[in-house]
Amino acid sequence: MNLEVDLGGIRLANPVVMASGTFGYGFGYEGLLNPNEVGAVITKATTREPWAGNPPPRIAETPCGMLNAIGLENPGIEVFLSKYLPRLRSSGAVVIVNIAGRALKEYVELASIIDKATGVAGIEINISCPNVELGGMQLGTAPRMVSEIVKAVKEETNLPVMPKLSPNVTDIVGIATAAECAGADAISMINTLQGMAVDIETKRPVLGNIFGGLSGPAIKPVALRMVYQVYRAVDIPILGGGGIMSAKDAIEFFLVGASAVSVGTGTFVNPRLAMEVKAGIEDYMERHGHTGLDEIIGAAVL
């Protein structure tokens, strides 16, 4: 059985990818889940300069989900390249670097810097973080803006480029097709759904940032619907995810058109989830007599 997949020029030995912001720089779960076991590691969002992130509380649990408002805390690209990338590279992991910024210029600079680094397989453009004032989601909710960013990043690098889309839009298909027309090699979806939580005793919002991004099993139906719609509209591969907690969930994403799947919040609950998903996909394919992922990708799209 062949679990290999080509994600817009990024060769993955298996289709299970660690979502940005849920696996640090690959070694947070060392010993339990190593970065070279999974299809690829998408690193925590990197910005040009260090970002301190949002004031606490940064997380709140919700029914079948959680809200986070981390605010893209990270040490900046220089520290990422000197401290984290070398170790990740030497582990043999497929590394996709998630980049974020407050303006187009920062994405361009980051793409140019990462293009010169060794050991990076691709770039995920974060235009979907709901928890920062400037940049993030604001750049990913208008097709024209998405197109501009993807084009600008593509001009700086020959690496495969994959925008991560926000579900907080009126028309996900319009955003995805704009990204494809601008030259995106693949599409990553979905980021978190914007939400909030309220403490009725203090009569205040729970999160320091007031609003946060909802993830976990609660958002899976939304993510499936959006992957389904985008799969019908674009020809580039989709990295699909949102609330994957089991192999069954992951298979649903393949069936609606994802070429690979990302696990995120589920890893917090079960650190071995990615490997259990991979094994479960193999079982499923064997049971159904499939020899390659292409036989199930989009199979449920009518």
Among 269, 288, 291, 301, binds other proteins (CB under 8 A): 269
If one asks whether residue 280 binds other proteins (CB under 8 A), the answer comes out as: no
If one asks whether residue 56 binds other proteins (CB under 8 A), the answer comes out as: yes
If one asks whether residue 216 binds other proteins (CB under 8 A), the answer comes out as: yes
- 129 in active site: yes
Task: Name the minimum Å distance from CB 136 to other proteins.
Answer: 16
Task: Name the minimum Å distance from CB 175 to other proteins.
Answer: 26
User: CB-wise, 62 or 194, nearer to other proteins?
Assistant: 62
If one asks whether residue 150 binds other proteins (CB under 8 A), the answer comes out as: no
| Dihedral (CA of 32, 260, 167, 139) sign | positive
Among 52, 134, 200, 302, binds other proteins (CB under 8 A): 52
If one asks whether residue 188 binds other proteins (CB under 8 A), the answer comes out as: no
If one asks whether residue 31 binds other proteins (CB under 8 A), the answer comes out as: yes
User: CB-wise, 168 or 267, nearer to other proteins?
Assistant: 267
User: CB-wise, 9 or 271, nearer to other proteins?
Assistant: 271
Distant-in-sequence, close-in-space partners of 201: CB < 8 Å, separation ≥ 6: none
Distant-in-sequence, close-in-space partners of 140: CB < 8 Å, separation ≥ 6: 127, 128, 146, 163, 164, 165, 166, 169, 175
Among 49, 105, 268, 286, binds other proteins (CB under 8 A): 268
Catalytic residue among 69, 129, 146, 293: 129
Cα separation, 258 vs 263, in Å, equals 13
Which residues within the stretch 66-95 sit at the binding site for other proteins (CB under 8 A)? 66, 68, 70, 73
User: CB-wise, 21 or 135, nearer to other proteins?
Assistant: 21
If one asks whether residue 28 binds other proteins (CB under 8 A), the answer comes out as: yes
Task: Name the minimum Å distance from CB 110 to other proteins.
Answer: 20
Among all residues, which ones are annotated catalytic? 129
Contact residues for other proteins, defined by CB under 8 A: 21-24, 28-29, 31-32, 44, 52-62, 64-66, 68, 70, 73, 216-217, 245, 265, 267-272
